[in-house]
Chains A and B, each alone.
Chain A
Amino acid sequence: MSCPTPSTTGRSSISCREGRAGPGPLGRRRRAGQGRAGQGSSSFLNPAHLIRSINDPEHPLTLEELNVVEQVNDAESTVAVEFTPTIPHCSMATLIGLSIKVKLIRSLPERFKLDVHITPGTHASEHAVNKQLADKERVAAALENSHLLEVVNQCLSARS
């Protein structure tokens, strides 16, 4: 199994957010979809909207606070998503990447070529994770693991 199973060692392992949810989210960084997002994506369903509702594997919150930056090219049918774990050792990075990838596979027409990777220089084992996410076979194999599929589905189901 290439992807790590989610650790339950405590909250400290995820630092994908700063500050707390509240009426005035001062502590947050840019929201998903700001930054470079939006250019060229107005003609299509913005992937930022697709990704923002994914649940964090360990918290009752979504990935909206995660720095997700993406580039879409509708004509060439490519989607590139960069995501940034805020500490370099975030053990959930692979799982988050996998969740983003699965969500996009399910939500975009087949003609799109997907590329999900970590923002360069933001994770200790960046290359290993990127390689895993880029490998179709390994992603398919990961989704046949029912335990892993369960965690991914939990990330993707709508919160009631």
Chain B
Amino acid sequence: MAAAGAGAGAAALAAFVQDFVAGQQDGRAAEVAAGVKDGSWTVLQLVEALGSCLENTDPRTRGRGIQLLSQALLQCYSLLQEKEVLHLVLFYENRLQDHHLVIPSVLQGLRALSMCEVLSPGLAVSVLKAIFQEVHVQSLLQLDRHTVYSIITNFMGTREEELKGLGADFTFGFIQVMDGEKDPRNLLVAFQIVRDLIAKNYALGPFVEELFEVTSCYFPIDFTPPPNDPHGIQREDLILSLRAVLASTPQFAEFLLPLLIEKMDSDLQSAKLDSLQTLTACCAIYGQKELQEFLPSLWSSLRREVFQTASEKVEAECLAALHALSACLSRSVLSSDTEDLLDSFLSSILQDCRHHLCEPDMKLVWPSAKLLQAAAGASLRAYHRVTRSVLPLLLEQYTKHPQSSQRRTILEMLLGFLELQQKWGHVEEDESSLLSLQAPICSVVFSALTDPSVQLQLVGIRALTVLGSLQGFLSPSNLELVVDHLIRLALHEEDSQSSEAAMEAAGSLAPIYPKFFSGRMVPRLEEELRSEWEEESSHDHCSLQQRCLQALAAVSTHTSIVRETVPVLLQHLRKVQKGSEARNAQDVVSVCQSLHRLALQCQQDAEGCWYYHQTVVPCLLGMSVQAATQESTHPLLGKALLEEEVLAAMVPVISAATTHLSPELAAQSVSHVVPLFLDGEVSFLPQNSFPCSFQPFEDGECLEAQRRLVALLMAFVCSLPRNVAIPQQERLLQELLALSCSCNCPFTATTAAKCFAGLVNKHPAGQQLDEILQLAVNRMEPGLVEGPHRTQALTLLLWVTKALVLRYHPLSAHLTDKLLGLLGDMELGPAAADGFSLLMAESPDVLHKGCHADVRIMFRQRFFTDNVPKLVQGFHGASPDVKANYLKGLSHVLNHLPKPVLVTELPTLLSLLLEALSCSDRVVQLSTLSCLQPLLLEAPQIMSLHVDTLVTKFLSLTSSPTMAVRIAALRCAHALTSLPTTVLLPYKARVIRALAKPLDDKKRLVRKEAVAARGEWFLLGSPGR
């Protein structure tokens, strides 16, 4: 049976061989290989079947036979026995001497064998020797050369020890193999082999220079991939691969460095950049020995490039290379008898750059300073060497040059060196040249701070910040001076830039020296705030007070300072709110802004945050409740604290003080605040003797003032973390709902609606939520139909819809449909259309991520896909006088949509957008234009189909009576130029003529856009664009 099977197998094999060799049927190779794999026949049988063709006198037939064998081996080399491998190797080695037609197949076979694990020791070496001896690789085709590289790579991976036994002969053989290689695919492999030769310590022997020659001849790489290159090899791949070879061993240094120096002088920028980057890479492994001889020429090349080049890229690479050189020299260990190369190298740099720093015209000042800084930044030793010489010089130059612009340049250079010192942290006592210069540096910086030039002041302030961050540099007496200067600049400097920079600097220095700032700056600011109060307010004092408030907030970057500044600000707030003039409201708002900034600064620090919350929130609530409960003839008049503007400014303060509280502390706080509003529980407020009880949710005419404080409740309760339970939440929600639907004051009603929405958004899903929502819908729907409170009902609808859209609540679809229906309403339509912007935009006070609202990602996209078809449909069905509402709603939705989404949806919407351009409502025009402008830039192909309409509409809108529309139309006309030129050329003359008119517009901003747009249209289709 077995014999019969074997017999049948042999017959089949013979037939396959015959088909492949004589019949030229390539497909048979796969079947033969499959047969070997599944055991139908052995490799030996295959060789026997091939027998006659392998001995045939015609080289083509022999080649065909070997090809079949090689292809079979490539499939099943892992099944071979050690003995079989031995015989096959000997056979193939022998065949290498055969006719050149046969060689490609022989190499394939050897490649298969090179992957065998059972290859006996010694065979790898003999295969390679045979290849090196018999094959002239570079006369082969690309694919066959690649096969040779693969054989070598395979052996290097598995038989490293054996190949190393060959010694330098292996290296030499490989050099001969790759010499003259031109194909980028092969070069990538060859470079990898060279890298491995070096990295794995193969013996290079006397062939170092040859190996360098055979690779460096490709440097700098000049290769542009052919268009539609299927292999995807980029120039960058070759550059990086060759760089890895060249920068892999210090042995190449003596050959490589002269080459790099030569190529740095090349006219080709790419060659320059490549040389510089390669030099930088080399410095990572080179030492003193390699660099020594070439340092002078390297330096002179780098210097020449930095001094002469106009390209920032070349300059940056030069500086990086110099930094690397200096770092490399700093790394070397000094022995007593050798010369310190770093020292002499830096000396030559100093010698060449120093004098430029003092030339009167200061022509090469910046290049020299950059070179010095690059060298100094490499190590602490280099830094000391350079600064010891340069800093005194700069300080001297500063006093020599009286002009502020020159002084500014010098100080900026000084600043650059000081910033380098930051890298090494604190100033060391023994070695530091910096510490010995403490006095002159301080005096230079202080003189800059008192200079009338704002630019110089700004650099001075930056320098001050850097000096302050060097620990141990500024002495206590200097620090006092620093603080005094900062106070002076922050409060009394006329230029707002300097003043802001000084506050910024105070903020960054305060955490390092909290004692100086809390002990010196805070009392001074407090004093200023007080003294001002006694005098009658003039404009100057008003701005001084503003500055004080800003400075107090800016300096509060450390917990200990916060504890001093918060009481000062609150004290000041108590004072200003007592007045009744309009200015008082403004003052209260300023204090609130400072408090808000302070809150943001101490959010991250748990302890500071709790302190702030505990101090500020009850105080603000107490003052407002006090104001609201006071008896007065008119409930709102004469109470700065109750004005809308002021309450709106307090909202972010309370919100920021609450968002970062830990859940336990927040729960503690919520147990005080909610009863205050629901039951008038005032006991936790700092001063709790009020003229009458606090009942914001009660009915009553005189309670109007108290109801407004719902804004503060909203700020607190909507900013709580989601896992904090709110006591009596259901009752609170019902009260808010009632207030929002029935209150006559729009501010109060809106705030109540927002607060309700904020709570609903965070309310856990379930029956309770459904009940409260049902209640809201029941209140809202009759209110929307008729009655005195239609606007309030719409506001509530908008906010509740937003809350539900954000969290993907199923009811949101119903509410959105309700809103869409209102677009057709004559009275509420415009407001409903504007409401779409509210739905899509980020709201500043409630319902955003910062206050822990439940916001799903991509809710905008979802809203878009759900509702835009309905909007479009509604538009087509609407009566002419309400069509604008639909367009407005649509353009609001599109405006807030991410641009990539918009581009894909564009074709369906474009005709509608173009219609919106003819709409007479300027809000629609403006939002449509701002929607179209990015589309013109991003989807020019689609837009160019409508070029005629676009040109006409844009040009007619450039004479709109609204300035913003004119500007937007001109921007669109400018953006039109990114459409294909051929489409635009017919309109060129017309557009240029039409744009002459806005050139003479009475508004400067319009003229500016007109100039830009017209200039670009002139260039269209002109030569030299």
A-side residues, CB < 8 A to B, are 18-20, 22-24, 26-27, 44-45, 50, 59-61, 103, 106-111, 146-147, 149-154, 156-158
Contacts and interface: CB of A to CB of B under 8 A. Distances in A.
Contacts, number: 77
B379 to A, nearest CB: 25
Nearest to B362: A26
The 5 closest A-B pairs by CB, nearest first: A150-B1024, A24-B409, A22-B366, A153-B1024, A150-B1023
A97 B1024 CA distance: 18
Nearest to A61: B310
Contacts of A108: 999
A79 to B, nearest CB: 13
Interface in B979-1025: 996, 999-1000, 1004, 1007-1008, 1011, 1014-1016, 1018-1019, 1022-1025
A149 B1014 contact: no
Interface SS of chain B: helix
Contact of A45 (B363, B408, B1008): B1008
B341 interface: no
A109 B361 contact: no
Given A59-B310, A110-B996, A153-B1023, A23 B1011 contact: no
Contact of A19 (B361, B996, B1018): B361
B1019 A111 contact: no
B993 to A, nearest CB: 10
Given A18-B363, A20-B363, 13 more contacts: A18-B361, A20-B364, A20-B367, A22-B366, A27-B363, A44-B1007, A45-B1004, A111-B1000, A147-B1023, A149-B1023, A150-B1024, A156-B1018, A158-B1016
Contacts of A26: 362, 365, 405-406, 409
The residue in A59, A109, A150 that gathers the most chain B C-beta atoms within 10 A of its C-beta is A109
Contacts of A147: 1023
Given A24-B409, A59-B310, A109-B1000, A153 B362 contact: no
Q: How large is the interface on B (under 10, 10 to 19, 20 to 34, 35 or more residues)?
A: 20 to 34
B1015 A151 contact: no
Contacts of B367: 20, 22
A150 B610 CA distance: 67
Given A18-B363, A45-B1011, A23 B412 contact: yes
Interface SS of chain A: loop
B1024 A152 contact: yes
Nearest to A22: B366
Interface in B399-424: 405-406, 408-409, 412
Contacts of A111: 1000
B361 A27 contact: yes
The residue in B999, B1007, B1008 that gathers the most chain A C-beta atoms within 10 A of its C-beta is B999
A99 to B, nearest CB: 11
Contacts of B1024: 149-154, 157
Contact of B1015 (A59, A107, A146, A150): A107
A18 B365 CA distance: 12
Contacts of B310: 59-61
B409 A109 contact: no
Nearest to B992: A106
Given A26-B406, A45-B1011, A107-B1011, A19 B999 contact: no
A159 B300 CA distance: 32
B1025 to A, nearest CB: 6
Contact of A149 (B409, B412, B1022): B1022
B272 to A, nearest CB: 16
A30 to B, nearest CB: 11
13 contacts: A22-B366, A23-B366, A24-B405, A24-B409, A24-B412, A26-B406, A26-B409, A107-B1011, A107-B1014, A147-B1023, A149-B1024, A150-B1024, A153-B1023
Contacts of A152: 1024
A27 B366 CA distance: 11
A21 B1023 CA distance: 29
B1015 A156 contact: yes
B854 to A, nearest CB: 44
